[in-house]
Homo-oligomer: A and B are copies of this chain.
Amino acid sequence: MDLQRIKYFLALSEQLHYWKTAEKVNITQSALSRQIQSLEHELGLQLFERNKRNVKLTPAGKFLKEKWELELNEIEYIHQFAKQLHLGERGTITIAHPDSISASLMPDLLAKITAAFPQLQIKLVQVLYENQLEFLKNYKIDLAITRDINREPGIRSKTIHSDHLALVVPLDHPFKGFGDLSTESLKQQKFILPTKDEGSSYSEIIQALFKSYEFVPDVFLHSEFGSTIIALVRKGLGIAILPDSYMHHQSPGLRFIPLPFKTDLLINWRADDHNPVLANILKLVFEN
Chain A residues with a Cβ under 8 A of chain B: 1-4, 43-46, 49, 58-60, 63-64, 67-68, 71, 74-75, 78-79, 81-83, 85-87, 91, 274-277
Contacts and interface: CB of A to CB of B under 8 A. Distances in A.
B4 A82 contact: no
A83 B47 CA distance: 10
A60 B82 contact: yes
Contacts of A3: 1-3
B43 A79 contact: yes
Nearest to A275: B59
Contacts of A60: 82-83, 85-86
Contacts of A87: 45
Contacts of A49: 274
Given A59-B275, A67-B78, A71-B78, A83 B2 contact: no
Main secondary structure of the interface of A (DSSP, over half): helix
Contacts of A64: 78-79, 82
A45 B46 CA distance: 36
A257 to B, nearest CB: 47
Contacts of A81: 63
A86 B63 CA distance: 10
A86 B71 contact: no
A86 B45 contact: yes
A121 to B, nearest CB: 12
B2 A82 contact: no
A273 to B, nearest CB: 10
A82 B45 contact: yes
Nearest to A3: B1
A46 B86 CA distance: 7
Contacts of A63: 81-82, 85
Contact of A85 (B59, B68, B274): B59
Nearest to A46: B86
Nearest to A85: B60
